[in-house]
């Protein structure tokens, strides 16, 4: 697809692969190729779940800092919006998405992982938001998604200090969902999302929209969103199949329609 990011599809799983050696630095080109890959995964009905993977050595060690040394405030006003929206495109993939993290997920790399639904982390991996050490803050969702995931106090600890956390701490605070040996990260991520490749795609989409959308509004609005999405699923073939299969005491065969 792109020079540094591509989407591979096999058995219902789309793998968004970052390939910009040696550290998968997230420059503007990678940012836009990520956006394109996420849009492709969203629009491809053959993709029922997604793995974001940086390879066997490193997930992504952050932004390409060389781009920051000469950029002006006026330039960054525009570029910051594009950066945030590119990562938001990943977050808005209406399918189950897991980050498979090896090596480092720092700065923008950690923010990319936060844009996924789950994070499978290698035992020797390091995660963090070190932007404060450059005199800046996370700019692609880190202050918002990290606080929602691990709580504001822990997010402030990580963002104010810029320190890295190992896999044990990441699991303890909820930044990681599974920790496995480095050689098993990709396969563990695939196995995590494989069950969803035969699930009711429209119901999964609705569930993700209800959870993520509800987090940004008050409870009443969230409940209204849930009710709307719940009712809408009664127009789907999968609802008919699911309820009929339950009554007939058999396994449902969902079609995603």
Cβ(27)–Cβ(63) below 8 Å: yes
Residue 82 confidence (pLDDT): 87
* Catalytic (active-site) positions: 63, 108, 111, 131
User: What's the average model confidence in pLDDT over 85-93?
Assistant: 96
Domain ranges of the chain: 5-197, 200-247
**pTM to 2 decimals?**
0.94
Residue 68 confidence (pLDDT): 77
CA angle at residue 99 from 209 to 239, to 5 degrees?
A: 35
Least confident piece of the model among 37-51, 69-83, 169-183, 192-206: 69-83
User: What's the average model confidence in pLDDT over 185-200?
Assistant: 97
Cβ(133)–Cβ(162) below 8 Å: yes
- Please state which CATH class domain 200-247 belongs to: mainly alpha
Fold for the domain defined by 5-197: 2-enoyl-CoA Hydratase; Chain A, domain 1 (3.90.226)
User: What's the average model confidence in pLDDT over 32-53?
Assistant: 97
């Amino acid at each position: 697809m792109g020079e540094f990011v591509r989407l591979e599809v096999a058995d219902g799983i789309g793998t968004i692969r970052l390939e910009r050696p040696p550290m998968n630095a997230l420059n503007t080109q990678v940012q836009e190729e990520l956006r394109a890959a996420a849009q492709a995964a969203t629009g491809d009905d053959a993709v029922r779940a997604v793995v974001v993977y940086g390879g066997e050595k490193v997930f992504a060690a952050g932004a390409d800092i060389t781009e920051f040394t000469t950029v002006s405030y006026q330039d960054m006003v525009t570029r910051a919006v594009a950066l945030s929206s590119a990562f938001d495109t990943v977050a808005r993939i209406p399918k189950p998405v897991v980050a498979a993290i090896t090596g480092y997920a720092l700065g923008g790399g950690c923010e990319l992982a936060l844009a996924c639904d789950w994070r499978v982390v290698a035992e020797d991996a390091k995660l963090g938001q070190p932007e404060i050490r450059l005199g800046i803050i996370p700019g692609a969702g880190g202050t918002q998604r990290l606080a929602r995931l691990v709580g504001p106090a822990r997010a402030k600890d990580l963002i104010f200090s810029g320190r890295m956390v190992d896999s044990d701490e990441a699991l303890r605070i909820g930044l990681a969902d599974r920790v496995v040996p480095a050689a098993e990260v990709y396969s563990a991520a695939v196995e995590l999302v494989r069950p969803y490749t035969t699930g009711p795609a429209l119901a999964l989409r609705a569930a993700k929209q209800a959870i993520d959308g509800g987090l940004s509004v008050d409870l009443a609005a969230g409940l209204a969103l849930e009710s709307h999405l719940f009712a809408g699923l009664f127009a789907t073939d999968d609802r008919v199949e699911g309820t009929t299969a339950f009554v007939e005491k058999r396994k449902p065969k969902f079609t995603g329609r």
